[in-house]
Structure formats: structure tokens, C-alpha cells
Amino acid sequence: MNTTSRYILLILGILFSLHWILSLTHEEYSRVTSIDSIASHFRGGTAAEKHPVPEEYLELNSGTLSYNRKANATFVVLARNSDLENTVRSIRRMEDRFNRVHRYPYVILNEVPFTDEFKKRVSNVITSSVEFGLIPKEHWFQPDWIDEEKATAGRKKLEEEGVIYGGSVSYRNMCRFNSGFFFRHPLMLKYRWYWRIEPDIHYHCDVNFDPFLFLEDHNKIYGFTISMYEFEKTIPTLWGHVRDFMKLHPEYIAEDNAMGFMSENNGETYNLCHFWSNFEIADMDFWRGPAYTAFFEYLDKQGGFYYERWGDAPVHSIAAAIFAKKDQIHFFDEIGYEHNPYTHCPKKEESWERGRCGCDRGRSFDYDGYSCLSKWDRLMEG
């Protein structure tokens, strides 16, 4: 071997070792350079390309299916009185980009009564109708049977570890409420579908189709725009309980489900992927049905909403991925959405143009190292 070849081999060896060490020691690096993630840049068959909302749903098309039709649906917003300015902004954006055409109602919920000022300011930007609701105490506060000493120790630990909202009880109340109770609120019972809105989110494109009708007509139960990895420290025991539940209730596990999105080894371990639930368009019949009811009750009994800091995002996502078929979950590429710090901007250029999107497609979160969309693409390709 001549000297040049030796040098080349040496350099390749160093690069390979560096890559290997970085992959082992830096999760983020490992994600960005994983085969899935790199492959996604070259894939033609991403979910965005393969599963667009069909032409006949687009309002630019005179034969659109959504004229003269409406779903039994509502927006739902959970907010505090102190969220007033940001709630007004989110709703105003939703009105501008979608709802001044579609006129779906709003339900706005809080564990304390909304002030008159809040109701007046919010109602003023809504072109449809709105109901303000008080959350029943038993749907919100930490139950008596939770061991407070254990819960305090759990909060302290996460706080010391610098986990976001690690020491907050109200954040835990919120996550448990969003996991198991919002769809049981008396004001929500008359509806089947909901679209969740949070204070200070942005809609970057015109939504010129009715996502509720699209989901309903295609027998889907859940729509998302952003997916990502969960902080493992907030759910150390969650997957163990999920596995126990699946053993107890194999009858609820759907055929052809989306387990492959969340696990690389058919359910043995959780890869932390979940749909970001601050955006959700979903079917409450699914949450109200036997599988999810039993699942939520089972998880709730373990106390992890308080002893750890289980989020509604992994809880909803895991349930949708296990109890529904993968085809019943939909990635909405067309909907440009932002919740600080991440933005989904449509991948398809024609969707971006048609939606008059203001976002930068080059900065879309979709194939960021922290996003799980490449895993979704992989699943939907198979």
C-alpha cells in the first residue's frame, strides 16, 4: 500500500471513529445522522407527497365536497385569564386563515371562571359562536389518593434535573386534564370532532379545505402537523405500564397499527416519538371509546401524571398508535403551524403557494434532528 492510500485510510478511520463516538455520546447528533433522517432528504415518497388532502376537498375547486357540509365539530381552547392577549391572537389567526369561511364554534375552558374582560375580548374576534366553560374540580385537581410525599419528591427531582415544568403541579393538572377529561366536559359532549388551539400559536397558511370532513370521510381519527421526541425524564415508567396494559387487553390492539412509529423492536422499548398535541384535530369518539377509556383509567391509577410528569402528547399518541390503524392517523402537510419554538411549513411547493403561506419552507421542523417525521414516512412507506 502506498503512502497516499495509507493516509486516506487513516483519515477515513478517524472520521468513522469520531462519528461513532459522537453517535454514542450525543443523542441529537445520532438522530440527525441516522439512516432514517438522512434517507428522508432523498425520499420522494414522504407522507406529505404520498398522502395529500385530495383535490376535491380544496375550496379553490368548484366541485369541492365541503360546500354545504359541516362536521359535528368545535375548536377547544384551554386557557387562564392571564392568557388573554395570546388567546385573542391565536383565535384571530384561526379566524383569518380558516374559520371566517367555515364558522365552527369554540369551547373555551378554565378551572376558574373567565373574567368579563376575557369573555368580551375573545368573543369580539370570533365570527361564529363561543361558549366559556368551568372545569369540574374532580377533572382538574390532584386526586386525594395520590401519595403527596411521593409526588413532592418526584417534582423536586425533576426540578433539580432542570426539566421544564418539573416542579409545577398546575402543569401536571393540565396534562392529566388534556389526557383524560376535556372530551368529557359537559360543553364538549355534543361534539364529535375537535381542533385544539393554544394561546400564542400561529397559522401560516390559508386552510382552504375542511380537515374535519376530510378525516371523517376517510375514517381517520387523528391529525397532526408536528411530531418529536419526548423528554425521557418525564416518563421513565410510562412504557412499562403501556406494555402491561397491552398484555392485559390484547383485544384493544389494532391490526396494522402505528407501533412502528414509536418502537424499533415491535413494542419492546419506546423510542420517545409522539405527535405534538398542542395541535390536534381528532375524533372524541375515539377518546370516549372502550379502549382509550380503559387505557386512561389504567394509566391514571399508576399515578404517573403526578409522580412523574406524563404529558398528554405521549399519552394520546401512544393510544392512537396502538388502538387505531396507522391509516387512521393523518399528517397534514398543508397546514402551516407554529408553536414556539417549532414550525411546520408545507413541504409541497404547490400547497405553500395555494395556502398563501408566510412561513419559510427551508426552516420547517419536519426533518430537524429532533423531529420524528422521518419515522412516520418510513412507517407509511411500508
Ligand X SMILES: Nc1nc2c(ncn2[C@@H]2O[C@H](COP(=O)(O)OP(=O)(O)O)[C@@H](O)[C@H]2O)c(=O)[nH]1
Minimal distance, residue 278 CB to ligand X, in Å: 5
Cell of 57: 376537498
What is the footprint of ligand X within residues 219-278 (CB under 6 A)? 278
Min CB(312)–Mg ion separation in Å: 11
In 3D, which of 215, 198, 204 has the Cα closest to residue 97? 204
Pick what 80 binds: ligand X, Mg ion, none; C-beta below 5 to 8 Å, kind-dependent.
Answer: ligand X
Q: Binding to ligand X (CB under 6 A): which residues in 80-109?
A: 80, 83
The stretch among 74-82, 150-158, 217-225, 294-302 that binds ligand X (CB under 6 A) is 74-82
280 is catalytic: yes
Residues touching Mg ion, count (CB under 5 A) = 2
CB 141 within 8 A of CB 170: no
From Mg ion, ligand X, none, interface partner of 78 (C-beta below 5 to 8 A by class): ligand X
Query: Which of ligand X, Mg ion, none does residue 322 bind (CB under 5 to 8 Å by kind)?
Result: none
CB 336 within 8 A of CB 208: no
Distance CA 9, CA 234 (A): 44
Nearer to ligand X, 154 or 199 (CB): 199
Q: Which of 78, 238, 359, 380 binds ligand X (CB under 6 A)?
A: 78
Give the β-pairing of 227-229 and 273-275.
Answer: antiparallel
The residues with which 224 forms a beta bridge, in sequence order, are 331
Which partner in ligand X, Mg ion, none is near 174 (CB below 5 to 8 A by kind)?
Answer: ligand X
> Which SS3 state, helix, strand or coil, does residue 107 take?
strand
Residue number with CB closer to ligand X (274 or 326): 274
Catalytic residue among 280, 308, 334, 338: 280
Beta carbon of residue 161, minimum distance to ligand X (angstroms, whole number): 17
Please select the residue that binds ligand X; options are 79, 122, 213, 379, rule is CB under 6 A: 79
Spatial distance between the Cα atoms of 354 and 58, rounded to a whole number of angstroms? 10
Other CB atoms within 10 A of residue 342 CB: 19
167 binds ligand X, rule: CB under 6 A: no
Q: Cβ neighbours of residue 210 under 8 Å, at least 6 residues apart?
A: 57, 66, 69, 70, 71, 102
Nearest in space to 181 (alpha carbons), one of 128, 146, 133, 248: 133
52, 154, 180, 199: residue in contact with ligand X (rule CB under 6 A): 199
Binding-site partner at residue 327 among Mg ion, ligand X, none, CB < 5 to 8 Å by type: none
Residue 170 lies near ligand X (rule: CB under 6 A): yes
User: Which partner from the list Mg ion, ligand X, none does 328 bind, CB cut-off 5 to 8 Å by kind?
Assistant: none
On whether the CB atoms of residues 55 and 61 are closer than 8 A, the answer is yes
Asked if residues 358 and 345 have their Cβ atoms less than 8 Å apart, the reply is: no
- Cβ of 356: how many Cβ atoms within 10 Å? 12
| Phi, then psi, of 209 in degrees rounded to 5 | -155, 165
Per CB under 5 A, which of residues 263..292 are in contact with Mg ion?
Answer: 278
The three-state (H, E, C) secondary structure of 38-79, written as one string: HHHHHCCCCHHHHCCCCHHHCCCCCCCCCCCCCCCEEEEEEC
- Scanning residues 110 to 139, which ones bind ligand X (CB under 6 A)? 110-111
Q: Which cell numbers in the block locate residue 351?
A: 400547497
Member of 198, 233, 246, 294 binding Mg ion (CB under 5 A): 198
Choose the binding region for ligand X from 39-47, 151-159, 167-175, 291-299 (rule: CB under 6 A): 167-175
Distance of closest approach, residue 170 Cβ to ligand X, in angstroms: 4
Those residues with Cβ within 8 angstroms of residue 123's Cβ, 6 or more apart along the chain or in another chain: 130
Q: Give the number of residues in contact with ligand X, rule: CB under 6 A.
A: 12
Residues interacting with Mg ion, by CB under 5 A?
Answer: 198, 278
Residues interacting with ligand X, by CB under 6 A?
Answer: 78-80, 83, 110-111, 170-171, 174, 198-199, 278
Q: Which amino acids are annotated catalytic?
A: 280
